[in-house]
Amino acid sequence: MPDNKLDPIKLEILWNGLRSITDEMFVALTRSAYSTNIKERRDHSTAIMDRAGRLVVQASQALPIHIASMSGLMACLLTKFGGDIQEGDIFVANDPHTAGGTHLPDVNMARPIFVGGELIGFVCNIAHHADIGGIAPGSMAGGMSEIYQEGLRIPVIRLFRKGVLQQDIMDLLLLNVRIPLERRGDYFAQIAACKLGSQRLMDIVGHYGKPFLLAAFDQIITRTEQRLRRAIAEAPDGVYEFEDVMDSDGIETFDIPICLTLTIDNDTVHFNFGGTAKQTPGNINVTMNATQASACYALKALLDPDVPNNEGILKVVDIAAPEGTLLNASFPAPVAARAHTCQRIVDVVFGALSKAFPDRVVAAANGANTTAVFAGTDPRTGSGYLYLETLGGGFGGRPTKDGRDGVQVHITNTSNLPVEAIEMEYPLLVEEYSLVQDSGGAGEFRGGMGLRRTVRPINHQCTFNGVGERFRHRPWGLRGGQPGAAGQFLIRDSSGRTHRLDDKPGEVRVMEDQAIIVETPGAGGYGSPKKRTQDRIDQDLQSGKFSQHYVEAQYNQQT
């Protein structure tokens, strides 16, 4: 069916129907999963792809960082299996270097959809598994120097062949991970989401017909591209530059630069990351598709936040990042902590465009994906457990309002795990869950505050590992706003004294009379602190979020 025969009202109704399918898949995966990282924190995404592997629709709650991960999977799948895809197949993959992934814990699945023997598209999902093997529980710890250490590498392979589970493949996947029963539950939650999505998409085909659906796929992508290009065309042409640094790679390298020259020319945007550091020995490296996802998110957030997430966005962005650098790492670079670097990419894009869009760009958010992993043997059952979480922090001060406190930011829109879920599922006691006082940067509109979580093992010893960023370099402010506070990991001994841990600790033994304290970064403020109103300053004090000393020092007020 030619594109010009598509009725726009009918197309809009279909588009919303497709989006409802991905949303239902997302909820089904959430409710079926075993691990708290998926069923509570919702660290997963769902999508519909066309038969060429282009992303058409992504669930509304999906993670922006996953937009390129599923596209990467599809490119590898079609290259490897192009003429040998059967009805009832389900493909699985995770490897960043051979299968289009971004890091090993994010496991992709894709199920082809056939109508009358013809392939029309795929339903896909991606879920972050709390462990994928490797040398460290949680597969995310600092100190890993090659991809082999980070866990099980899965190329694009068939998990189901013509509707039949390949049990030997599942056995292999489960043999290489900690807590295999939990992993099995999460895998089958992904499988269930694929099957549900297949049924719903076939219902759509039955209602609209195959020709209209295929033409609609093209139109949805084309119209997204056109809409974003119109937004770019309204932006001021020019060349914009910015540079920021990563704290460290967790092994030997510190103050690692990310450099950007961004050019807006009519309806095109070119990102040039020349000057960025070479890939590092530690696992903060990023593959090109994750860099692409981060840049696309930042552009969409500034120009048109409501534009759909699909291939149309990816087509607009032109990125130059030399191979072998931090943002386009080559095999066998470790990449487990790539989300921290992706957050910094967003900060760099925002920093570059802060002059072009002074009324839209926010100050630097917490700029991290602070990772905490506790693992041990549950004394109640004698079985192993593994609690993984990435904690939120401050969101940057905005041109018209304060930043938000204790939230996930930008590309990782997951939730913080409730205390009740932690204490119900793991032999751990959360002694404190609070906001870090004075952690939001001062400004006319202050930055958001970081989180503090104090966790102690109950009647047993455990191990802790983590990855922190913005622990050395504080989140910057804009227009005279002050930087937010840095984060830190601490251990409290039996006497109550605290000692600071490394920013990316590989393995820390925690005794039952000790506790781990995680403090995440705050965020930068926006505008001169001198412009903050007295009412807002009074609210800062009355809330207890800011101390008298801080207010007097930052706002020069005697209140």
Per residue in 219-250, pLDDT (tens digit) is: 999 999 999 999 999 999 999 999 999 999 99
In a domain, 419, yes or no: yes
Cβ proximity of 424 and 36 under 8 Å: no
* Residue-level pLDDT at 336: 95
* Residue-level pLDDT at 68: 73
For 237-273, give one letter per residue: b (16+ CB within 10 A) or e: eeebebebbbbbbbbebeebebbbbbebeebebebbb
Whole-number Å distance between alpha carbons of 330 and 503: 25
DSSP tag of 450: P
Q: Tell me the average pLDDT of the chain.
A: 94
359-399 tens-digit pLDDT: 999 999 999 999 999 999 999 999 999 999 999 999 999 99
- The residue segments making up the domain with residue 120 are 3-226
In a domain, 242, yes or no: no
**Is the pLDDT score of 126 beyond 70?**
yes
pLDDT band at 559 (very low <50, low <70, confident <90, very high): very low
Of 226, 245, 272, the last residue of a domain is 226
In a domain, 279, yes or no: no
- Do residues 221 and 368 share a domain? no
In a domain, 303, yes or no: no
Cβ proximity of 279 and 325 under 8 Å: yes
3-state secondary structure 455-508: EEECCCCEEEEEECCCCCCCCCCECCCCCCCCCEEEEECCCCCEEECCCCCCCE
* Residue-level pLDDT at 380: 94
Query: Domain total for the chain?
Result: 2
List the alpha helices (DSSP H) in 176-209. Answer: 180-208
In a domain, 305, yes or no: no
Of 192, 226, 260, the last residue of a domain is 226
The two beta strands, 268-272 and 317-320, are parallel
From 243, 480, 241, 475, select the one nearest 352 (Cα to Cα): 241
Of 174, 209, 226, the last residue of a domain is 226
From 220, 189, 193, select the one nearest 57 (Cα to Cα): 220
In a domain, 375, yes or no: yes
The first and second tokens of residue 13, run together, are: 């109704």
pLDDT band at 557 (very low <50, low <70, confident <90, very high): low
* Residue-level pLDDT at 70: 81
**Is the pLDDT score of 317 beyond 90?**
no
* Residue-level pLDDT at 3: 45
Q: What's the whole-number mean pLDDT along residues 76-83?
A: 92
How many Å is the Cα radius of gyration of the chain? 23
User: Which residues, including other chains, have CB under 8 Å from residue 496's CB and lie 6 or more apart?
Assistant: none
In a domain, 301, yes or no: no
Whole-number Å distance between alpha carbons of 125 and 146: 26
* Residue-level pLDDT at 198: 97
**Is the pLDDT score of 499 beyond 50?**
yes
147-192 tens-digit pLDDT: 999 999 999 999 999 999 999 999 999 999 999 999 999 999 999 9
Q: Is the dihedral of CA 417, 65, 138, 180 positive or negative?
A: positive
